[in-house]
Structures are given as structure tokens and as C-alpha cells.
A and B are shown apart, each in its own frame.
Chain A
Amino acid sequence: MEDLALKDSWLQEDGDKEDENNILDPEIVDQAESPDKELMTINMGPQHPSTHGVLRLVVTLSGESVVKCIPDIGYLHTGIEKTAENKTYNQALTLTDRTDYLNPLINNLGFSLAVERLLGIEKQVPQKAQVARVILTELQRISSHLVWLGTHAMDLGALSTFLYGMREREIILDIFEKCAGVRMMTSYIMPGGLYADLPSGFDTDVRNFLAIFKKKWPEYHTLLTNSELWFERTKGIGALTAQEAISYGVTGPILRACGVKYDIRKMFPYIGYETYDFEVPLGKTGDVYDRFMVRMLEVPQSIRIIEQALDKLPEGDWMINDPKIAPPKKWQIATNMESLIHHFKLFTEGYKPPAGEVYSRVESARGELAYYMVSDGSNKPYRMHIRAPSFANLQSMPLMLEGRSNFADIVSAIGSIDIILGEVDR
């Protein structure tokens, strides 16, 4: 590099383009020069504090404003779909936790619904399991939104929101740990019901959490919702029209912030969501602030659903009674020959859904999570494809930003999309 001190182009107003680009950020990978504008292409990520995972953005800037913004994904590609083709259905369930790792229970639910539809046992899942699934799904949604809020706000400078979010999330993770033994990758919602019975005191634990959370949730609103600084960073940024969003396949809070009422829990209800009374918040302009408000307003609705579900939670079985699909109770294996044989068959070979295909969609915290599964009658899925909401949502990010944002708005937009690279790359 030339000696910086001797540069005359520092003082000239329209100095040499290549010299000016050279002295700037050492992370320049490419230099796009156009005759009338000075464009600078820089590389953000894959290791970057604000990209929420290993996302690489190639951003072309003209000064401070974004001209092009191209996401480059694949840095977390895990081959989950290929790995699932070599595992039995219950083993593939554990892989699904790791796609969208902020709401593993909802991933498990999507997978379980797909397999239950393939097996044809969807109506036979006991009521206790269905209601418990609703409670766990909504708790998982709350915990995912808490992490989203914490990281989004932390990127934009509000560091204390992160600590607030983590504080409440720990209580939810304690509940999951009591149910499944694991804080995060629970694999608790299995095809057929739940993996194990709900722990004693589950009802009390969840009610205690709700009591605490209802007192603490207004604190989050006081932190950000009416803050002038928050408005500056989020209002009018990254707006998407409903037409653009639909044509890109965007779903979830982003689509709802554009004003389109698409919530799978209302439109194609599953596990009994039609029996619960809740609202779906909608936004107007589709900018970052509207997405923020949609998610903030979804959390009280989740609390409402949990309360209704807790009142409905019956006693009974947590798994269907079919010994060809559900493992027998542990105490039966020691005394009953048939249970032993069923246990052996299930854990070595697994159940074999009849040949067919299914596309089951659930509403995850990010949008429409769907599992497209093809079975060929054997004990392993022939094809398991995960339709990840963040994949389509991230595709729309250049639309949000190109031509009308500053560089700092990229961070707002990424946070508002709430991407999880695990499910984008699978």
C-alpha cells in the first residue's frame, strides 16, 4: 500500500477512486467502480456480532447508503435432510431440534404432525398430549421472542434488554428441563404424543411463571416501545409491501406486519388451536417497528392461550396406546414379553408409515415452518424436507434495504427478520 501521508487525493473533492478505496476498511474484498458514483463493496460476516449467526452479507455502498445487499448463506449447512434419510423416524426427530434452535419444540411439533399424518394416527393422540403440546409450543414461542428481542435490541444498542430477556427465558427453560431433562434440544414432542409424562407440578410451575411474567412483561414495553431512540432506528426502515412479501413467500410476523392476516394457527388449525380464543396482531406499514410491535403483541396472546390450555389440561395418557408406534412403559418391559418385543422392534427398527407424502405446516416464531416428508413404506424417511421460514424471509432482505437505507439500517433489518441460520442452511 502506498504511503498514506503523501496522498493528495485526501484533499481533493473527487479524488482518485482506487486510492480512496484502498485506505479504508481492510475487509474490502471487491471494488466495484462505476463512472458516475463511487461504490464500495464490503463484506459483513460470517463472523460478525450483528448477523445473528453465520450469515455473510456482501454490501455495496455509495457513501453511507446501501446500493446492493446480497446475503450469502450456507455457512451452517449441516446436511440434516440427508442425515435424516439414514435414521429412523424417532432418531430423525432429534435432528429436527437443531434446525431452528430457538424453538426446538415447535420443530418437533411440525415433524410429529407430519409423521402422525403419514401414520394416520392424528386423531388418536390423547387429549392430554394435545393440550400439553399447545402449552409447550406457546412457552417456546415466548422464549424465542425473548431471545429475538434481546439480540435485536442489543444490536441496536439497548444492552439491558438482552439481560431482561435472558432472565425470563431461564424460567421457561427450567420448565423444559423438568419435562424433558434438557434445556434446549428437548425432542419432547414425539409422533404419537409426548416423550414422557408431564412432571408433577407442571401446572404449578407454568402458573408461577405466568404470574412472574405478567408482572415483568410491561417492563419490556417501557424499555423500548415508546422510546424516541428506538423510533429513530426502526420507524420507516426496511418496509415491505404486502404484495412483495407474498411474492417472496415471506410468512410470519413479517407478513403480519405488512397487514396480511396469515397465521397458520387460525387458517389451518392443528392440535386443537381452533378451540382457543386468541387474536392475531397485524401491522400496517411493514417496517421494522411494526414487526417489533407484532411480536411484542403476540406474547400476551401466547400467555392467553397458555392460560386457557392450563384450565383444559386433563389427566390421562400422554402417548397413544398403539404398541406398534409408542414404546411401552418401562416397568412393563421387565415383566411382559410382548412389551419387550415391541420395545426391541421400535428401538432397532422403528415404525413404518405406509407410503405417501405429507406437507405439514405449523406456525413457528418465525413464520410458516413446514415439513414435506415422503415415505416409501420403510422405517426411514425417504425424503425429509424442511421448509424453513427464515429461508424465504431472508430472501426478501435485499428488497427491504436496497436503494433506501443507510448502512446502520442493515443491522435493524436483520434483527427484525429474526433469522436463525440453522434453519436457513439446514
Chain B
Amino acid sequence: MGNELYRIEDFFTINATRPGDAQSIMSASPVGGVITTTIDNLANWGRKSSLWPALFGLACCAIEMMATGGARFDMARFGSEVFRASPRQADLMIVAGRVSAKMAPAVRQIYEQMPGPKWVIAMGACASCGGVFNNYAIVQGVDMIVPVDVYVAGCPPNPEALLEGIQILQKKIMAGVPNPPDPMNYAPEVVRDPNFGRTR
């Protein structure tokens, strides 16, 4: 057991090479004892414990995201104390809702405005894969535009499901798993024109 047989980064990212491919949740759990220094551990602990989401509620999932911030499900106890309105002050973008053709450049711009380290949760079926809407207007999965770390299924996902997604992300951060590759780096024509990358 150890990390001398393979590179840890490859193990977690080998599946997330094309837009539209889901990164397996199984690969998000730390395997084989990732050895990092104490400072890295401390930094990762700090990052995961105070993930501040950027307000990016688009559609119905936004209402469930608001319910998650409400009193019964209370996201604040997991560190998401405030939803920052400005993306420049946030480190987590929860894409909650369907991304339409007109909105896609705005999603990309908001993602680029966030300073690193940053993570993206695709909340709901529409953000993960286009959801109920397989048509001309909806981008089939927001991972065509931004690199997604965690996908939360549901239409809309229960607030408990979103909390589980946030906790999986926190495990990922604690383990030091890097972000998936950015689609702008390897398929920029898809990011600029998301419908072009459709395979179905």
C-alpha cells in the first residue's frame, strides 16, 4: 500500500477526460493512504470546513438549495455559513438548475471569476446531464462548460442529498484530490458552443 505504484492524481481523474463523462463517486474516496504533510492537511481541513458557495441558483434546484440553507437542513453547520453574492469571494459554485444556451457563457464567466482553489457541484439532473430536457435549449450537463467535482442526482435533489454531495466534496478536499481537467483546456470549441459537443 502506498503511492509509489501509481500517481494518485491519475487515479482520480482518469475518468473525467471528456465533457459529458461522469467522474465516478467511488473514485472520490481516498485509497491507499494518501501521504501529505501536516501543513497540507491543515490547509485542506481549512478549505473543506469553510466552503462558501457562490449564489448560483438558476431554477428549481435553487429552491431546494435555499431550503438546504434554511433551518431544518442548515448548511451552515457544515461550514457554508454565507452564500456570497460575488463570485470573487466564493470558493464553491453549486450549479443549481438547468443551464440554457443563453446562460452558458455567463456560467463560464462566473466560474472564471472565482479565485482558486475552487470547486463545482453540479446539483440536480439538469446540471449533471441535461436532466428531463434533451432539447435545443439546454446544455446537456454543465460539465461541458466547467469542470465538475461532485454530481448530485435528483430532480430536485433532497436537501439531504445536497448535503451528502457537500460532504463528499469535503472528503475529496481533505484527501487532496485535484480538480478534474478544465474543458477549456482540451475542448475549447465545446465550451464556447456547448451544443456542439452533443453526442446524442
Q: Which residues of A contact B (CB under 8 A)?
A: 46-49, 53-54, 74-80, 82-83, 94-95, 98, 101-102, 147, 150-151, 162-163, 166-167, 169-170, 173, 183-185, 421-422, 425
Contacts and interface: CB of A to CB of B under 8 A. Distances in A.
A79 B133 contact: yes
B85 interface: yes
Given A76-B59, A95-B132, A147-B66, 7 more contacts: A77-B101, A162-B66, A166-B67, A167-B72, A169-B67, A173-B67, A184-B156
Nearest to B104: A75
B85 A77 contact: no
B55 interface: yes
B103 interface: yes
Interface stretch (B9-17, B134-142, B175-183, B186-194): B134-142
30 contacts: A47-B106, A48-B85, A53-B59, A54-B58, A74-B100, A74-B102, A75-B102, A76-B103, A77-B102, A78-B135, A78-B138, A79-B136, A83-B134, A83-B135, A94-B132, A101-B60, A102-B63, A150-B66, A151-B66, A166-B66, A166-B72, A167-B72, A169-B67, A170-B67, A183-B64, A184-B60, A184-B63, A185-B155, A421-B59, A425-B100
Nearest to B58: A54
Nearest to A91: B132
3 smallest A-B Cβ distances: which pairs? Answer: A166-B70, A101-B60, A79-B137
B142 to A, nearest CB: 14
A173 B83 CA distance: 23
Contacts of B135: 78-79, 82-83
Interface of B: 55-60, 62-64, 66-67, 69-72, 83, 85, 87, 97-98, 100-103, 106, 110, 132-138, 155-156, 158
B100 A77 contact: yes
Contacts of A425: 100
A184 B132 CA distance: 15
A5 to B, nearest CB: 24
B100 A75 contact: yes
A79 to B, nearest CB: 4
Given A163-B70, A163-B71, A184-B60, A78 B133 contact: yes
A76 B98 contact: yes
A76 B58 contact: yes
Contacts of B60: 98, 101, 184-185, 422
A53 B62 contact: yes
Which of B57, B64, B85, B132 has the most C-beta atoms of chain A within 10 angstroms of its own C-beta? Answer: B132
Contacts of B133: 78-80, 83
Contacts, number: 99
B130 to A, nearest CB: 11
A281 to B, nearest CB: 26
A74 B98 CA distance: 12
Contact of B158 (A47, A94, A183): A183
Contacts of B155: 185
A80 B138 CA distance: 10
B70 A167 contact: yes
A95 B110 CA distance: 28
Contact of A422 (B59, B69, B136): B59
A335 to B, nearest CB: 34
B64 A184 contact: yes
A53 B64 CA distance: 13
B72 A46 contact: no
B141 to A, nearest CB: 15
B178 to A, nearest CB: 26
A82 B70 CA distance: 35
A151 B72 CA distance: 17
A79 B70 contact: no
B133 to A, nearest CB: 5
B158 to A, nearest CB: 7
Given A79-B133, A83-B133, A94-B132, A53 B58 contact: yes
A53 B58 CA distance: 6
Contacts of A183: 64, 156, 158
A240 B58 CA distance: 29
Nearest to B107: A47
A216 B161 CA distance: 29
A170 B55 CA distance: 21
Contacts of B101: 77
A118 B55 CA distance: 42
Nearest to B67: A166
Contact of A75 (B55, B106, B132, B156): B106
Contacts of B158: 183
A421 B156 CA distance: 16
Contact of B71 (A167, A173, A421, A422): A167
A170 B72 contact: yes
A185 B64 CA distance: 11
Contacts of A184: 60, 63-64, 156
A94 B155 CA distance: 11
A54 B107 CA distance: 11
A45 B65 CA distance: 19
Contact of B85 (A49, A76, A150): A49
Contacts of B137: 77-79, 82
A49 B58 contact: no
Contacts of A166: 66-67, 69-72
Which of B59, B69, B83, B135 has the most C-beta atoms of chain A within 10 angstroms of its own C-beta? Answer: B59
B136 A147 contact: no
